[in-house]
Structure 1
């Protein structure tokens, strides 16, 4: 596991969406524990290698409860540690029961698979446990939050990502992308090193480009104030990844917070409503097949 934390990348810390509320008051707590307990029966004797890379020495101190969780990663099966964490933590997953269940069912049908998650939250350990023996990678915009999360959950694989877009540019970027995006890439991936298209995430860690991702969860970066990065580039890049898939099969893309205008506009433009197979509350589910020519966007994506 490696963490890419550029020293020169400074962004203000921010509070994650979910509030700290006792488990006894959260209706989804028992649901999460029940699902993970079921996973434990299947994967009790499996555990992945842990390589904290000194993260615990680079961040602030842990609470006694968090220290216990970190130590448990060294000796206990991952599903058991996950149950232990959610049974004792005040921070719980931010999505609803239905929103959790749909990706869970897909992951169970595909696992072990390649699962790419944009954003680290209080639900990250849960998502990781849903893909035992697979590759689950988290991409986070805030370096401080990434370090803090990896310190508490050293099993997670994560990198920080810089976004050069702002939410107040969303409509301009949407109306002009055909002029600047879709050119043939000079690299071995349609996104890699693309400096012309601002919606293309061309400077991601190599392991993002090295894999076909079976499931992509878009729940970041922030997109609720004008100067926030917004999710425009993530939605565009996820669509390009899905279209450029090399191995057999399709790509499942889950987009959260579709109650917001930008998420809906960009989903309709790049993820395509004809590929939407369902959704619940603020979550849409798309199943996207590979395209014959991933760089041909003259007529749009849909």
Structure 2
């Protein structure tokens, strides 16, 4: 075993806490008073612009193949900023940007509707702060042209969706 390997292993063991070396340990607790926020409602303050821009940047620069570009995310973010709080935000589909939408709609309610009930349940379990529902649609993307054709009779078409909580309620 080389000297570098031995030094590396000792460093890992020492810094990972496996090697409990503490003859005396002291803990210092500092209490910092939180700033007082006065508002007419009990909502949390809006996110600062720098935080929003950082979230947008990292969401659009991800290596994920199925992500929205910055040009697609920015107008949605701008609309959410202009929305009076609390803002109700409905999103169709759980995607790479799911947590981004929740964070950008800081003071409002963000609801997700997805066709895959297993994925909706998985996302709600993994991120309990999101509100996801599964849905079954009576129409499909293949009927898009007939639904939006100028000759379509809206009286005979029905748009039915059945939404349930991803946990079955």
Gaps of 5+ in 2: 1-36, 38-42, 46-50, 165-169
TM-score (norm 2): 0.52
Report the 3-state secondary structure (helix = DSSP H, G, I; strand = E; otherwise coil) of the residue aligned with 1:162.
Answer: strand
Q: CA deviation at 1:92?
A: 8.4
Give yes or no for contact 1:139–1:160 (8 Å, CA) kept in 2. Answer: yes
Question: Aligned to 1:134, which of 92, 108, 128?
Answer: 108
Could you tell me which residue of structure 1 aligns to residue 15 of structure 2? none
Q: CA RMSD in A?
A: 3.4
Question: Aligned to 1:102, which of 70, 75, 80?
Answer: 75
Indicate whether 1:158 and 2:132 are aligned.
yes
Report the 3-state secondary structure (helix = DSSP H, G, I; strand = E; otherwise coil) of the residue aligned with 1:178.
Answer: coil
Give yes or no for contact 2:136–2:161 (8 Å, CA) kept in 1. Answer: no
Gaps of 5+ in 1: 1-41, 48-78, 182-196, 206-302
Total equivalences in the alignment: 109
Give yes or no for contact 2:86–2:108 (8 Å, CA) kept in 1. Answer: yes
Moved more, 163-172 or 150-159: 163-172
- Which aligned pairs between 1:112-131 and structure 2 lie closer than 5 A? 112-131=86-105
Deviations 1:94-115 (A, max 9, x none): 1111211111111112143111
Could you tell me which residue of structure 2 aligns to residue 201 of structure 1? 160
Could you tell me which residue of structure 2 aligns to residue 148 of structure 1? 122
Q: 1:121 to 1:179 in 2, by over 3 A?
A: closer
Give yes or no for contact 1:92–1:122 (8 Å, CA) kept in 2. Answer: no
TM-score (norm 1): 0.31
**Counterpart Cα distance in 1 of 2:92 and 2:126:** 19
Report the 3-state secondary structure (helix = DSSP H, G, I; strand = E; otherwise coil) of the residue aligned with 2:129.
Answer: coil
